[in-house]
Chain A
Amino acid sequence: MNDYKSCFDPEQFQTNVNRRTFLGRAAYGLGGLALAWMLNPPKLLANATIPASGPWRGVVNPTHFPVRARRVIHLCMAGGPSHLESFDHKPKLEALNGKPFPDSFTKGQQLAQLQNTKLIALGPFCQFRRWGKSGQEISALFPNIGGIADDICIVRSMHTEQINHDPAHAFMNTGTRIKGRPSMGSWWLYGLGADTQDLPGFVVLTSKGQSGVQPVSARQWSSGFLPSRFDGIAFQSKGDAVHYVGNPAGVCQSTQRQVVEEIKRLNGMLADERIDPAIETRISQYEMAFRMQTSVPELTDFAKEPQHILDLYGVKHPGDGSFASNCLMARRLAERGVRFIQLYHRAWDHHNDIDRDMPVAAKDVDQASAALIQDLKQRGMLDDTLVIWGGEFGRTPMGQGSGRDHHILAFSVWMAGGGSKGGTTWGNTDELGYHYLADGQDMDVHDLHATMLYLCGIDHTRLTFHTQGRDFRLTDVAGRVIHGIVA
């Protein structure tokens, strides 16, 4: 059925490619394949160098830089908290309240729900004050975070590329809008391994506020193209914290132990007959699974937490899936050697009634966020634990009725510990809080990743994984370490 008028000429094609190569457009000619194979053995072989089980010390070993942070706790304020009512005080916006938003700011910009509407400035509904010795400006909605102002570094010049929740979370986690890429926590595990063999190295906890709630997908903690041993494990708020970690009814721990031992013994007999590393791995995974069956209940048992600690965090019912309970869990995970801990609090999508709903969301997280920092500090863990607090984007200085729409050109995050510079405010936005200022202190998501990696001893340009024909990084082809926020 060769009924096509074809124009394929192999030699001409080669010439064209070569010409392009000559012009410096394509880095590699057609001969690249064999070479690529030599330099980067096929994926099958490349991944085979990462054992499926057993201790994993990371590909970055030793680290590229001195290690300031041994672990990361990311408090993800899902939904996108308003920077204008938290960490970015804009008196001029207040003055402009109710008036048309200047066209000069917004022309040609991407909007979400404010598309095709008249843009009106909405001033902040709450007061700001200066806190601590450092005198950082923080809104009255966050008095406890105000109380730790000298420990935190506020970045007001954050910006991102994705304006809807789902892709924006993906961008914050993976540095790209393209699906199938590994999340931060997976990169951390791949790069550094974990200090625990009894728990997953990358744990995710979710909690939900009373309004402004948006869904969040399991893809946010996926290992993407990295081996699945680097997947984040989401702890469940109901039932077993980890899926299938509880024994079946009628099987006590000692009989379960016998079952696991018998499986290992019989698998061992198979391993004697067949040289197959997969069997050895299977055997060790049953060992690990059984350890998790022991360690997870121990981890989730808050009985030994004294009342004053529960009070510090504001935990009413330990293990109730609240943000406060999750913060306490985050500390327990950190103590046990988990490398990357991510807490999603779904509560910040305030398209309307922001003055009513944001204070509620703030109240739900303020005390526990601050308590986590204080608790880590009093245990001497803050020095080597990097805590990041922030959303996937910010909110418009223009009102959306009584609320604010999604905004990608400016938002605030803060970080504490792990070598970050406490008591500092970094970066600026314009007078209306609309656009970050490109004054050298601006920080995009790649910069944030590069800086986080730096604090953990990793050069972000050297943490790579080869797949789909090239080396991939968390920071893609961008990212700058922002030394100004490093202590």
Chain B
Amino acid sequence: MSGAIALPAVPSRRSRLWRRYGLAGFGAGIVLAWILIALLAPWLSPYPPDFVEVTNRLQPPSATHWLGTDALGRDCFSRLLHGARVSLLAGFSVVVLGAGFGTLLGMVAAYARGWVDEALMRLTDLVLCFPPIILALAIAAALGIGTTNTIIAMLVVWWPKFARLARALALVQRGQEYVEAAVVLGLKPARILGRHIVPNAVGPLVVLVTLDVGNAIITFAGLSFLGLGVVPPTPEWGAMVAEGRELVEQWWVATFPGLAILTIVLGFNFLGDGVRDWLDPKARSR
């Protein structure tokens, strides 16, 4: 008898998935496209990125030079494609290394507590005290120009936020009954940390990592814009914007690298939001 009542239709799984993860999929698409471009840049670009042809300088976009040429007559399109390599490499390496180091420090601090915690966290505070861009600027200037040196400079200012977050997450896990149970079972601290605390605490860290790659790309481009990022002939978006900033008439020189930065950062942000929704069970059940 109860089977007889008409039940309203459940919205289809596909439409709900689309509503929830559509934007994230879009972001993932952008990110994936840029990664492919970076990998295939030598084959995709019509000219070598540092092929100088002074007679052909500052040409507007045309069939031969899709995005025009810059002040030295280099093909902007080819440089844009190659620029993705440096940006993505810098973005990923800064975030992955910074997150790894910061997480390790934060989790150890949370688990050890006492003076270890105090020392590590005060060190973190010390780094956090400085404005990150300016500190990175100073370190990069001291180390000298170059992609690796800039990445090192960024790493120095990058790890503390991960250390803070990791410590907070590990502290929450530490109070959980299953961690207490592991203590009572006589497991060693390294195992408790590695097997019980870390796997349950990484969710928000993964979200921060995804959201942060875009941030790192922007910072790296910013340092390059100021002349600290890459050694000159290397194609890099921030440096390309810097080269084009005075060329008002030749708008294409600065505009396209700027758009490239915009799309890749947007892509990472959409993707990060999606990852957050996916990892957050509350947002998921909606």
* A and B found bound together: no
